[in-house]
Structure 1
Amino acid sequence: MSLPTRTDVLIVGAGPAGLATAIVLAEAGVDFVLLDRQAEGANTSRACVVHARTLEVLAELGVTGRLTELGVVVPTFTVRDGATVLAHVPFGGLPTAYPYTLMVPQDRTEAVLLARLREAGGDVHRPYEVTTVAGDDTGVTVTTTGGTVRAKYVIGADGMHSVVREQAGIGFTGATYAESFVLADVRMSWPLDREEVSLHLSPEGVTVVAPLPGGDDHYRLVATVAEAPEHPGIADIQSIVDARGPEGARSRVTEVVWSSRFRVHHRVADHYRAGRILLAGDAAHVHSPAGGQGMNTGIQDAVALGRLLARVAAGEPDALLDTYETTRRPVATAVVAFTDRMTRMATLRPRPARLLRNTVLKTVFSLPQAREKLAYQLAELAAR
């Protein structure tokens, strides 16, 4: 698709945040262009947790039912150390129509969002890479590898290494965790119930295992490793589950469907707006995968921002867009703080500290109020 030379809103990045914003704008009749530097189908599994608050938001866009059909409904979160269950957190009592976590790979989520966007009359322009972004009082000029577009507003939904954010001169404050992370979709025998996402604590590091759609042996594994290989294979994953899985239960990895390694940052953009340039998703905040909060927060950003832009396009004051940062940035800083606490707690290595942590966790989460509070926080219902 050739790029138009002018539009009201230019969205850079067609991940979940960019697609969700585009759906809102398309439904509101706002002229927009959504572009992405990747060819269609170049996305991968990546984020696969969709929480209750995000399902509420996506229901308003008409996609939650479709996602649920493609995913695995998981009603429980557990924290374990070997054979010991330190916390058993059910989502069933949450005050929502979606009292569970939905496990669905990101490429499927993006496919559902793209189909919904096309139903609304929109689409993605590919592959166009942004090279420069220059804003002034009346609009923003964006130069890409395939042409130049003049827009009234630009949304940077182009990920952690956002060109839009960098070109706008917005800082991205934070740091990087020392450990690398293994991320893998695998086929394996696993002794725990497929109705739980389990967080395993061990001296070797933290590991999360969650069921994925596509068969009873299909799982997502996330694990901290001092220096992970670029493409973890069967032997790498097998060594992780052997060392960190439930004691007394052998798990056998038979296939690595997809794998990656990555370094985890915890950063929040200093501002979500610079004139007519705004940020959403990973361009605005990144953090530990603990709790599966990242994509969820980004989608919620996107829908909130899309609705504000639709109101401005309909004639409300431009100053309305200032409320985007005041409402959504505190959500991101809280998520970063929460996931950082979870990560640091989970990656304790000294034995005395681990024993104390385990005792505290088991005592605290024996209380129903503590279990309910953690379920509510993981589900991001406080962000309503």
Structure 2
Amino acid sequence: MNLPARTDVLISGAGPAGLAAAIALAEAGIDFVLLDRQAEGANTSRACVIHARTLEVLAELGVTERLKELGVVVPTFTVRDGATVLARVPFGGLPTAYPYTLMVPQDRTEAVLLQRLREAGGDVHRPYEVTAVAGDDTGVTVTTTGGTVRAKYVIGADGMHSTVRDQAGIGFTGASYGESFVLADVRMSWPLDREEVSLHLSPEGVTVVAPLPGADDRYRLVATVASAVEKPGIEDIQSIVDNRGPEGARSRVTEVLWSSRFRVHHRVADRYRAGRILLAGDAAHVHSPAGGQGMNTGIQDAVVLGRLLARVVAGSPDTLLDTYEQTRRPVATGVVAFTDRMTRLATLRPRPARLLRNTVMKLAFGLPPVRSKMAYQLAELAAR
């Protein structure tokens, strides 16, 4: 697809956040250009958790029921240390039409969003990479590997290493965790119920195991390790589940369907807006995968921003866009703080500290209000 010379809104990045923003604009009849540097289909499963608030937002875009057909409904979150269950958090009592977590690999989520975008008359321009962004009082000139586009507004949804954010001169404050994270989709025998996502604490690091759609032996595993190989294999994953899984229950990894190694940061953009340039998704915030909230927060950002931009392009005051940062940045800072606490508590190494943590958690999560509060926070319902 050739790039037009002008548009109302240019979106850089066609991940879940960029696609969601584009759908919101398309439904409002706003002209936009959605760019991505990847060829179509060059994505991977990556994020796979969709929480209740995101399902509510995606229902407004007409895609939640489609995703449910492709996913696994998981109604419970547990925290374990070996054979001990420290917390069991059910989602069933949440005040929402979607009282559960939905497990869907990100590539399928993106495929559903892309299909919906095309139904709304939009599409993605590929492969075009943004190389320069220059804004002024009347618009933004965006230089790409395939030409230059003049837009009234630009959304940077181009990930943690956002060119749009860098070109806009917006800082990205935070730090990185010392450990590596292993991310893998595997086939394995697993002793726990497929109706739960389990977070396992151990001196070696935190591990999350969640069921994936398809065969009953498909699972997503996320784990911190001191230093991971680039593409973890069966032996690497087997070692993790042997050392950190439920005690006395043998789990056997039979196939690694996909795996990766990555570093995790906890950062939030200093601003979400620089004139006519705005940020969404990982370009605005990144954090630990504990709780599975990254993609969720990004999709919610994008729909809010897309609808605000639609109103401004249609004639509402430009100052309306200031409400985007006012409402969404506090959500991101809260998620970053929450997932950071979870990660640091999960990776305590001194035995006395672990024993104290476990005792406090068991006592606290024995109380229904504490369980309800955790379920509400994980589901991101406070972001309504």
Q: Same fold (TM over 0.5)?
A: yes
Secondary structure of the corresponding residue to residue 125 of structure 1 = coil
2:179 aligned with 1:179: yes
Matches for 1:193-232 after TM superposition, within 5 Å:
193-232=193-232
Identity %: 90
Shift, 1:204, TM fit: 1.3
2:123 aligned with 1:123: yes
Secondary structure of the corresponding residue to residue 241 of structure 1 = helix
Matches for 1:124-203 after TM superposition, within 5 Å:
124-203=124-203
In 2: Cα distance, 1:78 partner to 1:21 partner: 33
2:78 aligned with 1:78: yes
Secondary structure of the corresponding residue to residue 19 of structure 2 = helix
Shift, 1:20, TM fit: 0.2
Matches for 1:8-87 after TM superposition, within 5 Å:
8-87=8-87
Aligned to 2:253: 253
Residues 317-351 of structure 1 show CA distances to partners (whole Å, capped at 9, x for unaligned) of: 00000100000000000000000100000010110
Runs of 4+ that moved beyond 2 A: none
Secondary structure of the corresponding residue to residue 109 of structure 1 = helix
In 2: Cα distance, 1:353 partner to 1:149 partner: 56
Aligned to 2:367: 367
With normalisation by structure 2, the TM-score equals: 1.00
Aligned to 2:288: 288
In 1: Cα distance, 2:326 partner to 2:86 partner: 37
Q: What one-letter code is carried by the residue in structure 2 that aligns with 1:121?
A: G
Aligned to 1:354: 354
In 1: Cα distance, 2:165 partner to 2:314 partner: 26
CA RMSD of superposed structures (Å): 0.4
**Where do 5+ consecutive residues of structure 1 fail to align?**
none
Q: What one-letter code is carried by the residue in structure 1 that aligns with 2:195?
A: E
Shift, 1:313, TM fit: 1.4
Aligned to 2:323: 323
Shift, 1:170, TM fit: 0.1
Shift, 1:205, TM fit: 1.1
Q: What one-letter code is carried by the residue in structure 1 that aligns with 2:33?
A: V
Residues 96-152 of structure 1 show CA distances to partners (whole Å, capped at 9, x for unaligned) of: 000000000000000000000000000000000111000000000000000000000
Q: What one-letter code is carried by the residue in structure 2 that aligns with 1:280?
A: A
In 1: Cα distance, 2:202 partner to 2:277 partner: 44
Aligned to 1:311: 311
In 1: Cα distance, 2:204 partner to 2:315 partner: 57
**Where do 5+ consecutive residues of structure 2 fail to align?**
none
In 1: Cα distance, 2:72 partner to 2:87 partner: 22
Q: What one-letter code is carried by the residue in structure 1 that aligns with 2:7?
A: T
Shift, 1:314, TM fit: 1.4
In 1: Cα distance, 2:320 partner to 2:169 partner: 22
Shift, 1:212, TM fit: 0.2
Shift, 1:230, TM fit: 0.3
Aligned to 2:265: 265
Shift, 1:375, TM fit: 0.2
Aligned to 2:4: 4
In 2: Cα distance, 1:297 partner to 1:146 partner: 31
Shift, 1:203, TM fit: 1.4
In 1: Cα distance, 2:140 partner to 2:310 partner: 18
Matches for 1:99-114 after TM superposition, within 5 Å:
99-114=99-114
In 1: Cα distance, 2:87 partner to 2:289 partner: 19
In 2: Cα distance, 1:357 partner to 1:178 partner: 22
Aligned to 2:276: 276
2:78 aligned with 1:93: no
